[in-house]
Amino acid sequence: MADTRDIEVTVNGERHTATVETRTSLGDFLRQGLGKTGTHMGCEHGVCGACTVLVDGEAVRSCLMLAVQANGHEITTIEGLAEADGTLSPLQEAFWENHGLQCGFCTPGMLTSLTAFLEENPDPSEREVREAISGNICRCTGYQGIVDAALSAAKTMREG
Amino acid sequence: MKPAPFTYHDPGTVDEAIALLGQHEDAKLLAGGQSLMPMLNMRFVVPDHVVDLNGVAGLAGITDAGDALEIGAMTRQRDLMRDAAVAAKAPIIPEALEFVGHFQTRNRGTIGGSLCHLDPAAEQPCLMAAYDAVLTVQGPDGTREVPFAEWPLAYMIPSIGPDELLTKVRVPNWAAGHGYGFAEYARRHGDFAIVSAAALLEVSGGTISRAAIAIGGADVRPIRLVEAEAALIGQAANAETFKAAGEMARKIDAISDAYVSSAYRQRLAATMVERALAKAGSRAGGSA
Amino acid sequence: MGVRYIGAEVQRMEDPRLITGHGRYVDDITMQGMLHAAFLRASQAHAKIRSIDTSRAAAMEGVHRVFTLADFAPEYRKPMNQLYPAPVIEQNKTQYPLAKDEVCYVGEAVAVVVADSRAIAEDALALIDVDYETLPAVVNIMTALEDGAPLAHADTSSNLMGRMRSKFGDIDDAFAKADHVFSADFMQHRGGCHSMETRGVIARDDPWGEGLSLWTSAQSPYLIRRALATWLDEPEERVRVIAPDVGGGFGPKAGFYPEEIVIPLVARALGRPVKWIEDRREHFVSTTTQRDQHWHLEVACTSEGKMLGLRGTVTHENGAYIPYGILLPNSSLMPLPGAYAIPAVDVGVDIVFTNTVPNSPVRGAGRPCGIYAVERMVQTVSRELGIPPEEVRRRNYVRPEQMPYETGATLRGGAPLVYDSGNYEALLDKALDLADFAGFKERQAAARKEGRYLGIGISSCIEDTGMGPYEGTTVRVESSGKVAVRTGAASQGQGHHTMIAMIVAENLGVSPEDILFESADTGKFPHGVGTIGSRVAANVGPSAFDAATKVREKALRLAAEVLEASEADLDIEDGVVRVNGAPDLSVTLGELAVKLSPASALRVPAGFDPLLEATSYDGSSGSPIACGSNVAEVEVDPGTGEVRVLRYSVAHDCGVMINPMIVHGQIVGGVIHGIGNALFERMIYDDQGQPLTTNYGEYLLPLASEMPRVDVTHMETPSPLNSLGVKGAGEGGTIPAAPAVVAAIENALEEFNVVIDYYPVGPQYLCELIDKGAAQAAE
């Protein structure tokens, strides 16, 4: 008999209740339990960062958290970064303008990590941005477009 | 890579947690999860029970206890980096934590988790070795204190019983204005150190009056360079002195594995000790 | 005239979905009744399978079935076909879909569990009992051909897969008349795939309806369709293969894998869709990779450093099986002589079996290896003769007036390798300028005063791109005026949708937003080839251009009749055909499309074929040769052996750039991949063939924190080989990166006489070289 728990989580502002097997990761719960496939599982051992989501506003690897641990917490995924009317966040716009993605697989983790980072660091240097995304692996872009997007978004948000 | 099935427990108090450990022989404690979850996912560990400490009251928090800092085992690394008392009393801690993983892992990772996991290359055990920190362990029969030197038993095995819990770490203060320096060599930002060095110095009138040097990553447990520390007393806090101490570090017995040779670890030990001491020397009040 | 898109930095049309979390990768796809598979993989590098007992696993709750090869029908208990047969292959070892009675690498698939969830399937794997009889394993390519070496396959008598040679010109004459002969020995170790999305397959069999459908994270859906249909002995028409969003490919996703046979077979057996997603640990041990290649090379040259000939021997690691013919060793030899007019080459390759993951191309394929070898010889000549490395290059480059230059080498397929266009010396000058090469000596001296070691290194390369036969496109205007564009070309991040939309939009006179794009689905476009070898832009660009041109011509011809005007007076803008000077006279493309697809009983206008559409398979007539020079500036820390790339400059010529922003992304991404190969990516096996680097803590991919910015400048020398003048750009960043970085490290450590003979250059290895050099200097 599988070990299960009932949980209640708020994801992108919406409350969800579910019964989950306790060994299910938060990432798998979001993807399979809730059908929110925007968060990607790239390594399942906490290094690639593609699975990063915001838990109560803090960037966390969803492959290293159990779904049951999210009970009572607020999760933001890539699907929740744009406004309700579809207006992209300045960071999302900046990724689009600066060719900050190619295959798109690491992008959810990059966007959530940078969203959290820029909130606390509104005027970062390039070095600081590179260190901030050193926990997110990209195999396609060589990082430059992502760094440019982050710096551009930071500027837009400071001036906005 | 999905974990094998387990029964999940989320106790609300330390006593409950200890009782669960006593009840269930094959149980693992879940703290920040940054070390345990990969092992569960890869099925390197297949415990019947997982006891989640994240809901246990009173295990996290930083207290300024006058002559020491008392840090709850479940204190997040992120919080250690942001705490004013830690920055003031034990500034090597936030400096070293910049090297620990990435901000996403520090949002969940805990100091207690790192000290219990005891990875030879981890930075936090190296710091605690330099501090001669005292660890408080609680079990069904009460609490006991373990000086850090006695904490690592063997490779990734601390001196803690199967039904005991690390509750807090006591980090004794060094004199105001002490010098501190942490240096490590890792291939990439956030990686475990191949070798790391933590140095604490008290300097007065330009000469060293107290020194602690700990090396991580060279052996299964952090190494205190007792000889080099003794040799530093009374010496001028300058580059020559630090280089000599580095050369003493080169002589440690370092492990060899498939990735890195002992000779290279020794070389790194020398370089890291010298650099850590140089940082400490430049920060010490009372230096010439 | 209309809006010009080609050459503009149009923001990608792929992005809005991907930046909002609405990508559709294989694991995002769910279907009613879907089951989940997990593979049991060999835990030993070489062993006989005495028996497999799956009964305990099959009995587990939630498990539907467990299969070994013996559970398949007899006609399916056969190895996979050789995808790329070649006479060079002396021992054609291909993998069985599930191991038969021998496993030859850790990771080889032995059994598969199909269950209600992946977690349950993994639980069941632990209950499968395999009785192995351990056999000796061969891992070291340098001793694999010696007498008494362990055999990778028990039923063979040698580990030789085959031998190849690139030989042209009069090599004996070159070496006889040379003033100098220098030699070098070095090992190249390229890395693995490590796309952030692992592999994955969904199969659904619908025998009374659609037939067999596969969704797979792949670069070559048409290759898979043909290979699978052929192996099953069923018509291609009844097998559909779709590559949805693919999270990176880099070469290893371009082949055909055992899982792409097993998952369809089990889906068929169970009558339900089955999904298998490779986890990252599986990726390390079952996705093909590149690994070791050893070169012993000699260069014959004059006292002025003019290279007359190259000769030598290469030992190339094949891995346990041959998934990809001889493409990899072939593409290692074929770039010789590189960017230089070296008239004679004689290099042979021994291709060797080892009990490791099968090797197949990884970004650049063998080209980075061949170019590395040539560039190392240039560095050797420079060092031995004391001629600056940039000067040696100038004295040896193929000159523009020699174009088209037939090197003497042959491409895959037998065609001669001909450099079509390019100015290599001009590219060098641009790269040196961009790198502020002139100011380097001063920077180096200033750093030395602070005890810091800086070094600079150059490399030049050519890259054969755009290999044929074609990559077709259909352009069809539909009644709404939207333009349906379909192609077989598969994307793994290269922005093909945007590139093709730009070409069609400009040529047809519509907006890129009006283009409805479908690709990489064998059910929606009849035939394609695959995304490999920087071939897509040079093939699909011309076919999209040609198809759009034909649609435009047809539209104008019909519009001329409809508007009673002369074709020459017509223009198309924003999907509307207007008469110049009489703007009220117009007809939309949609209206024209309706005329060509009328309702029942009406007629298509006389002299016209139905539908406003065209299909083209126009491509490149030959292989456009891209080229470039790179300059790497590094800092080495002798205390730790750490190498930091401070600055990296690229001067690149990939002909006409359709979307410069996308090209730039390909170059930068390629360079970073190449730097990763040069410094970080190492797969370690023990002498029993156990892989020791199977997670991202042990196997190091380049991160943002260590990687430099890459400065890029372009020359656009149009290729004469296709209608757009385009050359490929996907691998040109990777190909010359390692030799530039290695040369820079040697330059930084010149006083220690460091000569590097292995990459990736790890800090421990570098410290050993430094210490040896320092000790020798002291004597």
Task: Give the chain C residue nearest B190 (alpha carbons).
Answer: C705
| Token code pair at residue C580 | 């110049």
Residue A134 is predicted with a pLDDT of 98
Task: Give the chain C residue nearest A32 (alpha carbons).
Answer: C28
Checking if the pLDDT of C412 tops 80, the result is no
pLDDT band at C2 (very low <50, low <70, confident <90, very high): low
Distance separating alpha carbons of residues C724 and C7, to the nearest angstrom: 11
Distance separating alpha carbons of residues B131 and B126, to the nearest angstrom: 9
Inter-chain residue contact A44 with B41, CB threshold 8 Å: yes
Helix (H) or strand (E) holding B203: strand B195-204
Checking if the pLDDT of A73 tops 70, the result is yes
Give the range among A66-70, B204-208, C233-237 with minimum mean pLDDT: B204-208
Residue A126 is predicted with a pLDDT of 98
Q: What is the DSSP letter of C193?
A: -
Contact C463, C731 (CB under 8 A): yes
Cβ neighbour number for residue A85 with a 10 Å cutoff: 5
Distance separating alpha carbons of residues A41 and C198, to the nearest angstrom: 9
Inter-chain residue contact B271 with C639, CB threshold 8 Å: yes
Decide whether A4-80 matches A90-159 in CATH topology. Answer: no
Task: Give the chain C residue nearest B4 (alpha carbons).
Answer: C123
Length of chain B measured in residues: 288
Task: Give the chain C residue nearest A24 (alpha carbons).
Answer: C119
Inter-chain residue contact B103 with A132, CB threshold 8 Å: yes
Distance separating alpha carbons of residues C98 and C262, to the nearest angstrom: 8
Contact C136, C150 (CB under 8 A): yes
Contact C464, C417 (CB under 8 A): yes
Within its chain, how far is the Cα of C487 from the centroid? 19
pLDDT band at C3 (very low <50, low <70, confident <90, very high): confident
Q: What burial letters (b/e) apply to C165-203, b meaning 16+ CB within 10 Å?
A: ebebbebeebbeebeeebebebebbbbbbbbbbbbbbbb
Interface test with B, best of C61, C640, C700 (most B CBs within 10 A): C640
Interface test with A, best of B103, B106, B119 (most A CBs within 10 A): B103
**Is A49 at the interface with chain C, CB within 8 A?**
no
**Is A142 at the interface with chain C, CB within 8 A?**
yes
**Is A141 at the interface with chain C, CB within 8 A?**
yes
Checking if the pLDDT of C502 tops 90, the result is yes
pLDDT band at A84 (very low <50, low <70, confident <90, very high): very high
Q: What is the DSSP letter of C79?
A: P
Give the range among B31-45, C296-310, C611-625, C666-680 with minimum mean pLDDT: C611-625
ipTM of the complex: 0.98
Task: Give the chain C residue nearest A46 (alpha carbons).
Answer: C696
Inter-chain residue contact A64 with B108, CB threshold 8 Å: yes
Closest-CA distance, A58 to chain B, in angstroms, reads 7
Residue A1 is predicted with a pLDDT of 80
Contact B118, B156 (CB under 8 A): yes
Q: What is the mean pLDDT of residues A63-84?
A: 98
Residue B286 is predicted with a pLDDT of 54
Q: Which of A43, A131, A142 sits opposite C669 (nearest CB)?
A: A142
Q: What is the mean pLDDT of residues C17-29?
A: 98
Give C335-364 pLDDT, tens digit per residue.
999 999 999 999 999 999 999 999 999 999
Q: E strands within A22-144?
A: 52-55, 58-61, 74-76
Inter-chain residue contact C119 with B2, CB threshold 8 Å: yes
Contacts of A45 in chain B (CB under 8 A): 1, 38, 41-42
| Token code pair at residue A62 | 């969803």
Distance separating alpha carbons of residues C617 and A28, to the nearest angstrom: 43
Chains with ≥3 CB–CB distances under 8 Å to C: A, B
Checking if the pLDDT of C534 tops 90, the result is no
Residue A26 zone, left/alpha/beta (φ > 0; ψ -120 to 50; rest): alpha
Alpha-helical segments (H) within chain A: 26-28, 90-97, 107-120, 126-132, 144-159
Closest-CA distance, C8 to chain A, in angstroms, reads 13
Within its chain, how far is the Cα of A154 from the centroid? 17
pTM beyond cutoff 0.95: yes
* φ/ψ of residue C637, rounded to 5: -100, 105
Task: Please enumerate in sequence order all residues whose Cβ is within 8 A of that of C675, keeping only pairs 6 or more positions apart, or say none.
Answer: C645, C648, C702, C707, C708, C737, C738, C741
Q: What is the mean pLDDT of residues C106-116?
A: 98
Give C447-492 pLDDT, tens digit per residue.
999 999 999 999 999 998 888 889 999 999 999 999 999 999 999 9
Distance separating alpha carbons of residues C409 and C128, to the nearest angstrom: 51
Counting beta carbons within 10 angstroms of the beta carbon of residue C145, is it exposed (0 to 12), middle (13 to 18) or buried (19 or more)? middle
Give C584-627 pLDDT, tens digit per residue.
899 999 999 999 999 988 999 999 999 999 999 999 888 889 99
Interface test with C, best of A25, A66, A143, A146 (most C CBs within 10 A): A143
Looking at CATH, the fold of the domain delimited by C15-21+468-616 is given as: Aldehyde Oxidoreductase; domain 4 (3.30.365)
Tell me the CATH class for B179-283: alpha beta
* Chain A to chain C Cβ contacts (< 8 Å): 167
Q: What is the mean pLDDT of residues B180-193?
A: 96
Angle at B170 between CA B165 and CA B174, to 5 degrees: 160
Inter-chain residue contact B1 with C281, CB threshold 8 Å: yes
**Is C698 at the interface with chain B, CB within 8 A?**
yes
Inter-chain residue contact C767 with B187, CB threshold 8 Å: no
Q: What is the mean pLDDT of chain A?
A: 98
Tell me the CATH class for A4-80: alpha beta
Checking if the pLDDT of C554 tops 60, the result is yes
pLDDT band at A98 (very low <50, low <70, confident <90, very high): very high
Task: Please enumerate in sequence order all residues whose Cβ is within 8 A of that of C436, keeping only pairs 6 or more positions apart, or say none.
Answer: none
Nearest to C228 by CA among C264, C198, C200: C264
Counting beta carbons within 10 angstroms of the beta carbon of residue C321, is it exposed (0 to 12), middle (13 to 18) or buried (19 or more)? buried
Task: Please enumerate in sequence order all residues whose Cβ is within 8 A of that of C772, keeping only pairs 6 or more positions apart, or say none.
Answer: C752
| Token code pair at residue C347 | 């290099």
Contact B72, B59 (CB under 8 A): yes
Residue C732 is predicted with a pLDDT of 85
Domain spans in chain B, listed from the N-terminal domain onward: 7-52, 62-172, 179-283
Residue B288 is predicted with a pLDDT of 44
Distance separating alpha carbons of residues C754 and C742, to the nearest angstrom: 10
3-class DSSP assignment, residue B19: helix
Q: Identify the CATH number of the domain defined by range B62-172.
A: 3.30.465.10
pLDDT band at C142 (very low <50, low <70, confident <90, very high): very high
Looking at CATH, the fold of the domain delimited by B7-52 is given as: 3.30.43
Give C150-170 pLDDT, tens digit per residue.
999 999 999 999 999 999 999
Inter-chain residue contact B188 with C698, CB threshold 8 Å: no
Residue C386 zone, left/alpha/beta (φ > 0; ψ -120 to 50; rest): left
Q: What is the mean pLDDT of residues C245-259?
A: 97
**Is A33 at the interface with chain C, CB within 8 A?**
no
Residue type, position C360, single letter: S
Chain A positions touching chain B (beta carbons under 8 Å): 2-3, 5, 21-23, 25, 28, 44-46, 49, 52, 55, 58-61, 63-66, 68-69, 113, 116-117, 131-132, 134-135
Distance separating alpha carbons of residues C555 and C588, to the nearest angstrom: 9
Find out whether the peptide bond into C337 is cis, omega within 30 degrees of 0: yes
Please, which residues 266-295 of chain C have a Cβ atom closer than 8 Å to chain B?
A: 279-281
Within its chain, how far is the Cα of B229 from the centroid? 19
Distance separating alpha carbons of residues C280 and B1, to the nearest angstrom: 8
Closest-CA distance, C702 to chain B, in angstroms, reads 8
Residue type, position A106, single letter: C
3-class DSSP assignment, residue B223: strand
Interface test with C, best of B267, B275, B277 (most C CBs within 10 A): B267
Contacts of B5 in chain A (CB under 8 A): 2-3, 21, 23
Contacts of B1 in chain C (CB under 8 A): 122, 279-281
Contact C745, C757 (CB under 8 A): no
Q: Which of C669, C696, C707 sits opposite A48 (nearest CB)?
A: C696
Q: Which of B189, B192, B268 sits opposite C706 (nearest CB)?
A: B189
Q: Identify the CATH number of the domain defined by range A90-159.
A: 1.10.150.120
Helix C660-679, helix A144-159: angle, nearest 10: 120
Nearest to C498 by CA among C627, C712, C665, C372: C665
Q: What is the mean pLDDT of chain C?
A: 96
Q: Which of A45, A52, A113 sits opposite B38 (nearest CB)?
A: A45
Percentage of residues in chain A having pLDDT higher than 70: 100
Give the range among B11-20, B220-229, C552-561, C713-722 with minimum mean pLDDT: C713-722
Terminal-to-terminal C-alpha distance of chain A: 54
Percentage of residues in chain C having pLDDT higher than 70: 100
Residue type, position C525, single letter: F
Q: Which of A38, A103, A111 sits opposite C22 (nearest CB)?
A: A38
**Is B44 at the interface with chain C, CB within 8 A?**
no
Q: Which of A97, A104, A142 sits opposite C671 (nearest CB)?
A: A142
Q: What distances in angstroms separate CA B24 from CA C407, C650, C711, one per listed residue?
A: 73, 61, 59
Residue C731 is predicted with a pLDDT of 87
3-class DSSP assignment, residue C157: coil
